[in-house]
Chains A and B, each alone.
Chain A
């Protein structure tokens, strides 16, 4: 057995999350609090994912961008609501949450990609579009 190798599960350590992974988790959690959002869409389903430190965050891809910031791209399934105002609210939430998490200076542009619309119940019709 190589020196330093332990079979004791308690000795196993989880690698600390990088800023990139933390940003993915913070951004997705903040986005999903926006009214009108239904679910993230994972890479396997045509959306995006961020992996690292033994974890995976589905529905958001975070990649290094300019000026030591990370470009965030959220892949989302939404309800039938006006999508551009919804995307603006998502950006505001993500920006605020990143700032509170101490990641405000790492956050770059936040892309919002509407991958699909959730089904509305039969007879419910669509939500009225905002003027």
Chain B
């Protein structure tokens, strides 16, 4: 069922806009997908690709780790920017890639997977996936994180 797509003005879960797909033929109602949903699909799809270690730059990862731990942000959308139009979406991704992997190959695989997932799940056509490789990950470079405190109640 193909539909006309218009920009919604509602506030999504992440406080963003949403794209609204109308079905003028049936008149039975509209389907609206929050922008944050498109961001989350893009973030998860990028992380599915082998060679992608993390999303976002160093500072974004540090801040994102803190804010997601206290529930202020969504880790799955870290390093993801989306622009959602009437029928199309453009995605900007910021990646950290494992040292030794081919950056062009990983980038192309990310592009393909993100476009496939967004088109499959949301029905939006992906016009571009722009990738910035912010950092390389070397095994063992991460700092030891403190283990979470034991639960205080059984």
Contact = CB atoms under 8 A, between A and B. Distances in A.
B48 A125 contact: yes
A103 interface: no
Contact of A112 (B3, B15, B32, B44): B32
A1 interface: no
Contacts of A130: 120
Interface in B31-80: 31-34, 36-37, 40-41, 44-45, 48, 76
B37 A117 contact: yes
B65 to A, nearest CB: 16
Contact of B29 (A112, A114, A117): A112
Contact of A116 (B11, B21, B34, B117): B34
B32 A84 contact: no
Interface residues of B, number: 32
B31 A83 contact: yes
Interface residues of A, number: 29
B85 interface: no
Given A84-B21, A109-B30, A46 B11 contact: yes
Nearest to B45: A126
A113 B34 contact: yes
Nearest to A79: B121
Interface of A: 41, 45-46, 72, 80-84, 87-88, 91, 95, 109-117, 119-120, 125-126, 128-130
Interface of B: 1, 3, 10-13, 15, 18, 21, 27-34, 36-37, 40-41, 44-45, 48, 76, 116-117, 119-123
16 contacts: A46-B12, A72-B29, A80-B41, A83-B37, A109-B29, A111-B30, A112-B29, A114-B34, A116-B13, A116-B34, A116-B40, A117-B37, A126-B44, A128-B120, A129-B120, A129-B121
Given A82-B120, A110-B29, 14 more contacts: A72-B29, A80-B41, A83-B33, A84-B122, A112-B29, A113-B10, A114-B31, A115-B37, A116-B36, A120-B44, A126-B44, A126-B48, A129-B117, A130-B120
